[in-house]
A = this chain, B = another copy of it.
Amino acid sequence: MKKIRVGILGATGMVGQQFVSLLQDHPWFEITALAASEKSAGKPYVEAVQWVQSEPLPEAVADLPVREARPGLPCEVVFSGLDASAAESIERAFADAGYAVISNARNYRMHPKVPLLVPEVNPNHIELIRRQQEGHPKRGFIVTNPNCSTTGLVLGVLPLWRRFGIRRMLVTTLQAVSGAGFPGLPAMQMLGNVLPHIRGEAEKIQTEPRKLFGSLEGDRVRAAEIQIGAQCNRVPVLNGHLISVSLELRQQATLDAVRETLRQFVSPLAEWNLPSAPPQPVRFVEDPFAPQPARDLMADGGMTVTVGQLAPCPVLDYRLVILVHNTIRGAAGGAILNAEWLHVNGYL
């Protein structure tokens, strides 16, 4: 089988590097283009990048020339790890030029024609793509994945959402520093400290799930009726966001029923054999001290969220804690899974 040629926009940044790491040896995709800012363009990747992943830079891409981020790249699909400041115009340009743009940036997430996609959650939202393609002979499009915390949240509660419905959720996050990119936060602020605010984050967590859990009606997504309140903290952890949730179900359920629903959940994508889709996207644990970033983060290569601390809540119905790998499932890995889902559905 011939691999699909993919390019990476923002290839020298943190998310771009994660794309490079996760796409090496991918069975379906092959990196054929790396693009970054003008000042990197022209250099071999190994010279343009300040590599900050824990595994070494893959040799296959070390000598790939870095190109400018504009249409003309030798590939059909582009993964975008661009900053929000650059993503808006560049992603639009690639879509207009006929590329499939699989973006991790926030810019188009809430656009009514753009799927905000977690394939286990809202697989059919990819039909929105047709609205983007209407009247465009080149048939390019943009698909986005949510904010890293949103991804963890919607996946972690997905079994309960499906079975019982959820009316309200109160969320407090403990987020890792890698979520702020590189260089990101100063060591002087984070050593032995917590920052009780992350700019724009609570708003995303309060908004994006309504689209993700929304129903596709005709050619638009109708937002789900769910109230979410969030407060976000940055903690001195390298990778792995913890999300503490208290939720109110639509339909009453016993603690046992909630526990079994979480425990028995299997991936709705199981039959598709997507390379990056974990068989159990929600891993339910009962160890009294789980989930922990240091112990549970790499389950299924970082693509599974771990849920623990299930308990009745004296205010709403139940509490639980979700752990998500913010740079894998919550960013590059989530985008790659999106591309896989698009591929088996004939969009790439």
Interface residues of A (CB under 8 A from B): 52, 54-55, 168-170, 172, 174, 177-178, 182-197, 199, 202, 206, 227-229, 231, 233, 235-238, 242, 244, 246, 288-295, 298, 308-309, 311, 313-316, 319, 321
Find out whether the CB atom of B236 lies under 8 angstroms from the CB atom of A196: no
Specify which of A170, A199, A316 lies most central, judged by the most chain B CB atoms within 10 Å of its CB. Answer: A170
| Chain B residue at minimal CB-CB distance from A237 | B192
Known: A174-B233, A228-B314, A228-B315. A189 touches B242 (CB 8 A): no
Which residues of chain B are within 8 angstroms of A182 by Cβ–Cβ distance?
186, 188
Given the complex of chains A and B, what is the CA–CA distance between A151 and B238 in angstroms?
Answer: 29
Find out whether the CB atom of B170 lies under 8 angstroms from the CB atom of A246: yes
Find out whether the CB atom of B233 lies under 8 angstroms from the CB atom of A236: no
Which residues of chain B are within 8 angstroms of A298 by Cβ–Cβ distance?
54-55
Which residues of chain B are within 8 angstroms of A238 by Cβ–Cβ distance?
188, 191-192
Given the complex of chains A and B, what is the CA–CA distance between A289 and B196 in angstroms?
Answer: 6
Known: A182-B186, A187-B236, A238-B191. A314 touches B229 (CB 8 A): yes
* 27 A–B pairs (Cβ distance < 8 Å), ordered by A: A52-B189, A54-B298, A169-B315, A170-B315, A170-B316, A174-B174, A174-B194, A183-B183, A185-B187, A185-B188, A186-B186, A187-B190, A189-B294, A192-B192, A192-B236, A192-B294, A196-B289, A196-B292, A196-B309, A197-B309, A229-B313, A229-B314, A229-B319, A231-B321, A233-B242, A236-B237, A315-B316
* Cβ contact of A191, chosen from B187, B202, B309, cutoff 8 A: B187
Which residues of chain B are within 8 angstroms of A290 by Cβ–Cβ distance?
196
Number of copies: 4
Find out whether the CB atom of B194 lies under 8 angstroms from the CB atom of A315: no
Given the complex of chains A and B, what is the CA–CA distance between A195 and B246 in angstroms?
Answer: 18
Given the complex of chains A and B, what is the CA–CA distance between A206 and B294 in angstroms?
Answer: 28
| Chain B residue at minimal CB-CB distance from A195 | B289
Find out whether the CB atom of A314 lies under 8 angstroms from the CB atom of B206: yes
Which residues of chain B are within 8 angstroms of A319 by Cβ–Cβ distance?
229, 231
| Chain B residue at minimal CB-CB distance from A51 | B295
Find out whether the CB atom of B54 lies under 8 angstroms from the CB atom of A193: no
Q: How far is the CB of A142 from chain B (nearest CB, A)?
A: 28
Specify which of A52, A184, A246, A294 lies most central, judged by the most chain B CB atoms within 10 Å of its CB. Answer: A294
Q: How far is the CB of A297 from chain B (nearest CB, A)?
A: 8
| Chain B residue at minimal CB-CB distance from A293 | B193
Find out whether the CB atom of A168 lies under 8 angstroms from the CB atom of B289: no
Q: How far is the CB of A342 from chain B (nearest CB, A)?
A: 31
